[in-house]
Amino acid sequence: MSGNIYIYILVMASVTYLIRMLPLALIRQKITNIYIKSFLYYVPFVTLSVMIFPSILSSTDSIYSAIIGFVIALVAGYFGRSLVTVSLLACMGVFITEIIII
């Protein structure tokens, strides 16, 4: 990659600023469309899930222990356990699976 690093930084800063500024400048009224509101409500959850899921699968020595930990976390979260409890149960599941596999 050759060129002036300051041009790259300026382009990245401009793109980041435009992405954040344009919705504020273009949408002046309250959003009343239920479909757009629903879409915007779920964007943070989807973004977080997409960033975390690949890390879950590559965080252990075996894909099987990662999947077991993920399933345990899903089940515990579905039944309303706290974040600490879900994390501890998933870690214990991965630990036990890693001991059994090795």
Q: Once rounded to an integer, what is the mean pLDDT over residues 19-36?
A: 85
Do the Cβ atoms of 68 and 93 come closer than 8 Å? yes
Is 65 within 8 Å of 97 (Cβ atoms)?
yes
Number of structural domains found in the chain: 1
Calpha distance 60→38 (Å, rounded): 35
Binned at pLDDT 50, 70 and 90, residue 20 comes out as confident
Residues 64-96: tens digit of each pLDDT:
999 999 999 999 999 999 999 999 999 999 999
Non-local (6+) Cβ contacts of 67 within 8 A are 57
Return the pLDDT at 28: 81
How far apart CA 79 and CA 32 sit, in angstroms, is: 33
pLDDT band for position 62 (cuts 50, 70, 90) = confident
CA atoms within 13 A on the CB side of 19: 6
Handedness of CA 67, 72, 76, 82 (dihedral sign): negative
Q: Residue 26 is part of which domain span?
A: 5-101
